Structure 1
């Protein structure tokens, strides 16, 4: 049967074909396992990312060269390297006892969905003097056009530029400039002010003029951000991009890269993805979180619609916002949600998106975009503000504070959105896999009496019991885990009493959003799902953009 793993980003659609392959005990990613059986393609070269038990040396690189390969980039900070190698030699490389896992250099793209008016402000935090001054944030995206919005008093706040796709680091696509404006634009005399308008920006371009990039480029950019951390006080990385999940986060090199940055003391904020409407496998959009948002360390962000008002009470989830649990690992994601639908931000004329969607032009250098791509810099900006107030906060404390202070009380049991183009209705339920810990609330975060006393804020995983028919949070009882029952607020306070019942139950017969008898439940937790013990090979095809009002 033909199935789809769709990435709702311009220009990329990953289509998976129903060939079952075992992945758990093999060193080769699913696509490369299929490559082994595709005799007609064995003469071709493939780009791969190879992870090793140790940091690869020249001796390791020479082995690849001896197999007819070429070293493209060293990725030492995750004990890996990016090579080009004949497909026929991949299995020989996997036989090296120092090799732990090999993946193709997968395509990655920006995480925006529909394009059409919502303004993001952080007036309260800015009014008390919290604007992110001195904090560096690395925006890993399609580059940034250096507009007046990114200068303060004549001083350019884009303090570093580098391209990993060749050519200039200036944005050719438009997505990165829009993200930068949401996170750190000063408005340039307009009302369109970013969350942290005094933050310093490290511009690392990984997407080309069509919004396309690869794992290797993103990993190189993350490695660069880590290496520049001290020089530019880089405390936050924003990743408004992603791709489908094809193996456990413990194996995926993209996930390993964000974990390395996190452990180096940089908070990584990642888009959840825009596949919340995907019902190809009868899951009602569950299980669609994109990589690297599937990693338990990072702050994974879903998208809320503010519906044209400045109050939270009428906010609703964007139906396209991807839902957890994550593929393979079943981590509870997203962590938080934030406004990201119909956002006005910086994007000048003459770029790819400017030319494609003329109706989205607001005025001058401002433009409307929507998606978890837009929600992510809102949260990243909030992290910058928190670090501006307390530079000693760890990434785990920032994540814990965001989730603890998130607003959850106004959520309805469900909401319905109608696609203005197709007229199709989508119902969203407000469970832990849809809205996480709730909607970002910067003021509430600043009102916390102290920084959360945690050493780890990894997202917990969930487990289904066939005996009880319940899905429960796992790994949440330790004293050093933010969601544990032994810490001051307990798991019910982090996610809200409506999301978690007694004994850490998040999905079961007594929970309002479904029971073990529902079709979506059986597919998410059944044995035949695409992210279970098997997966499919992928190829890329073009796709158009869709969304909601």
Structure 2
């Protein structure tokens, strides 16, 4: 008889670490504030014409700009006026640089600005009963940039010897920092401080399946997937299930792990995982399972690091990523662990915005299809071993999702 020893799962290797000190659902809005560019010649005449289309808030005659509060349905009428040079949203600007290069690279802010007027908080990942489960070392839930983000806690450590599920978030506090960093990439709040995640209003389930040293057992990972799928009410297939499971961890194949993945998948949960940091020719598990979206890493120059495992489904920023860290700090970290939550956040935006438009939730297969087919093709034309199908594109993915 063969005996199987517990397989230790190691979280994706971190290559650089520099610590820095640093409600009810809203109704869909019907109006928006725009800046309209007109000629400085005969400015008052053209400005008065615009009052027929909305309320003039202010103007800057020196440069021919008029700020107008207008019904969204009349925007096209304004654009057709012969004297109108341009129409653009009057964006709110913060004094802090919350939005970093990594979010700009995958067009996340474009999603926020495009859909805010139409679906409100859903443009930032909020929708009733939409949750992302983060399977990791826990989350420093009291971090300034994660206030209110974590709403549920699951703990499974030491082959389940340490087990908890409930709303006492202290049980899921992060002694390592890795899980907090991942959580920030997904959901750091757009609050004028620190950094902003891809889906800054989504709610998280903290699922602590890795120890303070960043390792855990296959059985704990599997239990974390199952409990995330069942949600707080303990019943899979209900409204409080995790909709997305984000896993910045990896190891060898396991029948137990794969069965857990298939269980979650069967209940409509989208699974996203880090491809791994071994420089191997294929992703580690669970990323390598067909039910999972495997994410590799690129740097700011769109280069794939030598350590990012080959043949992922897509790639995302994963080198020198600034995010939240334990003890209310911020840190730069690198790895496919950092790339994975970018995609998890994009999926949250897809599902939240789509449902806010009154459409059904996308299935895992539909999500994966959209993610890989809207990716920005990099490297060799089509699929290639370095970039997979390419760099995830939040703006295009959301557009296709709501028109699916």
TM-score (norm 1): 0.50
Q: What are the superposed Cα offsets for residues 187-225 of structure 1, whole Å, 9 maximum, x if unpaired?
A: 542351000010010011011111110001111111101
- Counterpart of 1:148 in structure 2 is 144
Equivalences, count: 288
Write the mapping of 1:20-99 to structure 2, written as runs, cut at 5 A: 32=2, 90=3
Q: What are the superposed Cα offsets for residues 486-537 of structure 1, whole Å, 9 maximum, x if unpaired?
A: xxxxxxxxxxxxxxxxxxxxxxxxxxxxxxxxxxxxxxxxxxxxxxxxxxxx
Query: Which residue among 128, 131, 134 is the counterpart of 1:139?
Result: 134
Query: Which residue among 389, 394, 400 is the counterpart of 1:448?
Result: 400
Structure (1/2) with the larger helix percentage:
2
| Residues 350, 402 of structure 2: 8 Å contact kept | no
| Residues 108, 242 of structure 1: 8 Å contact kept | yes
- Counterpart of 1:120 in structure 2 is 102
Displacement of 1:434: 2.1
Question: Which blocks of at least 5 consecutive residues in structure 2 are unaligned?
Answer: 19-99, 117-122, 164-170, 356-360
| Residues 120, 195 of structure 1: 8 Å contact kept | no
Query: Which residue among 195, 199, 204 is the counterpart of 1:196?
Result: 199
In 1, Cα distance between equivalents of 2:403 and 2:218: 34
- Counterpart of 2:290 in structure 1 is 296
Q: What are the superposed Cα offsets for residues 35-68 of structure 1, whole Å, 9 maximum, x if unpaired?
A: xxxxxxxxxxxxxxxxxxxxxxxxxxxxxxxxxx
Q: What are the superposed Cα offsets for residues 383-412 of structure 1, whole Å, 9 maximum, x if unpaired?
A: 00000012321111111001110000xx34
In 2, Cα distance between equivalents of 1:109 and 1:187: 31
- Counterpart of 2:221 in structure 1 is 218
Q: What are the superposed Cα offsets for residues 427-452 of structure 1, whole Å, 9 maximum, x if unpaired?
A: xx996222111110111113328655
| Residues 240, 373 of structure 1: 8 Å contact kept | yes
TM-score (norm 2): 0.67
- Counterpart of 2:86 in structure 1 is none
- Counterpart of 1:369 in structure 2 is 333
Shift in CA distance, 449/214, structure 1 to aligned 2, threshold 3 Å: closer
Shift in CA distance, 342/433, structure 1 to aligned 2, threshold 3 Å: same
| Residues 397, 451 of structure 1: 8 Å contact kept | no
Q: What are the superposed Cα offsets for residues 222-268 of structure 1, whole Å, 9 maximum, x if unpaired?
A: 110111163535210000001134xxxxx622122112111111000
C-alpha RMSD of the superposition:
2.3
- Counterpart of 2:309 in structure 1 is 322
Secondary structure of 2:180's aligned partner: helix
- Counterpart of 1:338 in structure 2 is 316
Q: What are the superposed Cα offsets for residues 329-377 of structure 1, whole Å, 9 maximum, x if unpaired?
A: xxxxx1111111110000034xxxxxxxxxxxxxx62101011000000
| Residues 169, 204 of structure 1: 8 Å contact kept | yes
Say which is worse superposed, 108-117 or 209-218, in terms of deviation: 108-117
- Counterpart of 1:85 in structure 2 is none
In 2, Cα distance between equivalents of 1:431 and 1:220: 34
| Residues 236, 267 of structure 1: 8 Å contact kept | yes
- Counterpart of 2:120 in structure 1 is none
Secondary structure of 1:133's aligned partner: coil
